[in-house]
Structure 1
Amino acid sequence: MDQRLEVFLKVIEKKNFSKAAEELHMTQPAVSQYIRSLEETTGVKLLERTNKYVRLNKAGEIVYHHAIEIKELYAKMNHLLDDLTNKASGSIAIGASYTFGEYLLPQIIAEAKEQFPDIKPTVTIGNTTTIAGLVLSHQLDVGIVEGHFKGVQELKTEPFAEDRMFVVAAADHPLVQRTKPIKVKELIEETWILRELGSGTREASEAVFKKFSILPPSLMHFSSTQPIKAMVEAGMGISLVSEWAIQKELRYGDLKVLNVEGLPYTRDFSIVTRSPFQTKALSAFLDLLKNHKELTDFKIL
């Protein structure tokens, strides 16, 4: 990778020439020379500099965005070359949407580290749209998401496991004792506690509303599943959640699944990648993921 880009990225990271020089074990004039050379090559000024700050201008933002991608691609290239002769090792940047990332991924990574101790996974958790965007920009090697995203032809999406979703309520909710199936239309006046737009779980809720032609007037929104479960447990409303997210609450009786006609709602967990090439470390992780026993065999509901 062009050392001028490495120096440029470090200056932006540290927001200071002298701190970047210290980190790179260079002199400050040398750092300045690298930045000046990069600006001469690109033909534009990239940084706004004063005694107090260093920040990107518009041209600098363009170079910074692509320099990040170049750095990721360069590292991936070296990993692929190393893999020609070496065993599965090195870093894997993994992204996961909240349901999978919070409730399933930790165990899978623990097993991956046990089987392949030389791999070094890092994990980013976000909603489905965020994770897909990070894979697209080469900041993640792989994303594991639920739901769908549109208009991203560069990404390869591969479903690998099924997820079932149920409507849950507090243990003392009046509908919990109903033995006769509840029609979804009976739930229209309930307060629905949902995830934010852009999440796979929110997409599933919207799909259920559309399928049964309902539009609940009372909605609440949260950016993760944990506060949603707490709100439902406190009797503040109901929610549609993955069975993987409620195993502990069902075991202890804090939440109950409502017997709703036409449910559970099923969706896929999918693997999202961009590059057609995979390091040995990533291939080993994906093989473990696709054949993970808990996903293929075990269900609690």
Structure 2
Amino acid sequence: MDVSLEVFVTVVEKGNFTRAAEELRMTQPAVSQYIQALERTVGAKLLERTNKYVRLNQAGEIVFHHAKDILGMYTRMQTLVDDLLHRASGDLSISASYTFGEYVLPHLLAYMHEVYPLIRPRINIGNTTEVAEAILNHQADIGIVEGEYYHENLHIEAFAEDEMFVIVPNEERYAGRGEISLSELGKETWIVRESGSGTRRAAEHMFTSRHFQPDNKMEFGSTQLIKESVEAGLGVTLLSHWAVRKEISLGTLIMLKPDGEPVRRHFSLITQATPYHTKAAEIFLDLLRMNKAFPVSYV
């Protein structure tokens, strides 16, 4: 590995030569020498330095972006080689969209930890667009999203079906009903997720495909906030049954089939379009495909 790239990235991320030296367990003069060597190699100054700060210049921005990719690919290569000689272990970076990441993924992680305790997962939660970008930028090994998604440079594979329902407050007018006509909810405020969210796309698809448009919408960036708002009587929403299991069991929310039929979509995994994955990633992908994420009582 090119040590000068690692030193450069650390200096930028720490914003300070002294802190970078401490992180790398080097002397500050050694750090400066590596930066100077890298600048000679690329033929340009990369950093603007004062006594108070270190900042990237335009050339530095280019080198920093590519250095992150190079270091990530080197780490991945080394891990693949190590996996040939050792049992499954090491870091596994997962980027998941909100419904799967917050309400389903914990079950899978608990199972994986029990069977493969040496795998160390690192989780980031974002909407579908953010998850895909994390895979494209080599910031995560595996992404998990809700609903349809396509990108020519990514491998995308549906691995499980999800069902979504209209979620309403526990009020007398909804009590004892298993379904509801969307036309009854035209005057209600519909609370939807932000653009880029798989849950938002599912709601918009339902509105369009069923020839229904609510008079009022509110856009919230948090599923938990949406649930609390529906409980408080602010409006209604469309959510996965995974997101409301606790509230349904406690009786604080009611789950209804829109026009007698739940909205169906898929959970899909996203990876780089390559046949090579770390052993930890291969194990996680196998568990996804076997639906090990789902507790038996809810499959």
Question: TM class by shorter-chain length?
Answer: over 0.9
Is the contact made by 2:191 and 2:226 (CA closer than 8 Å) also made in structure 1? Answer: yes
SS in 1 for 2:214: coil
Aligned to 1:200: 198
Give the superposition deviation at 1:157.
0.4
The 3 A distance-change label for structure 1 pair 293 and 173 is farther
Aligned to 1:254: 252
Aligned to 2:291: 292
Q: Which amino acid aligns with 2:54?
A: V
Alignment partner of 1:9 is 2:47: no
Aligned to 1:159: 158
Q: 5 Å matches for 1:122-201? A: 122-150=122-150, 152-172=151-171, 174-177=173-176, 182-201=180-199
Aligned to 2:268: 270
Alignment partner of 1:88 is 2:88: yes
Alignment partner of 1:46 is 2:46: yes
Give the superposition deviation at 1:255.
0.5
Q: Which amino acid aligns with 1:260?
A: P
Q: How far apart, in 1, do the equivalents of 2:42 and 2:70 lie?
A: 16
Is the contact made by 1:185 and 1:212 (CA closer than 8 Å) also made in structure 2? Answer: no
Q: How far apart, in 2, do the equivalents of 1:296 and 1:124 lie?
A: 22
Q: Which amino acid aligns with 2:281?
A: L
Q: How far apart, in 2, do the equivalents of 1:132 and 1:237 lie?
A: 31
Q: What are the Cα deviations for residues 226-254 of structure 1, in whole angstroms up to 9, with x where unaligned?
A: 11000001111000000101111111111
The 3 A distance-change label for structure 1 pair 107 and 177 is closer
Is the contact made by 1:99 and 1:245 (CA closer than 8 Å) also made in structure 2? Answer: yes
Give the superposition deviation at 1:177.
4.9
Q: What are the Cα deviations for residues 80-117 of structure 1, in whole angstroms up to 9, with x where unaligned?
A: 10111211111110111010010111111111111011
Q: CA RMSD in A?
A: 1.7
Q: Which runs of 5+ in 1 are unaligned?
A: none
Q: Percent identity?
A: 53
SS in 1 for 2:138: coil
Q: How far apart, in 2, do the equivalents of 1:201 and 1:12 lie?
A: 36
Is the deviation greater in 129-138 or in 255-264?
255-264
TM-score normalised to the size of structure 1?
A: 0.94
Number of residue pairs matched? Answer: 298
Q: What are the Cα deviations for residues 6-48 of structure 1, in whole angstroms up to 9, with x where unaligned?
A: 0001101110112212222222222112111111211222111
Q: How far apart, in 2, do the equivalents of 1:239 and 1:121 lie?
A: 32
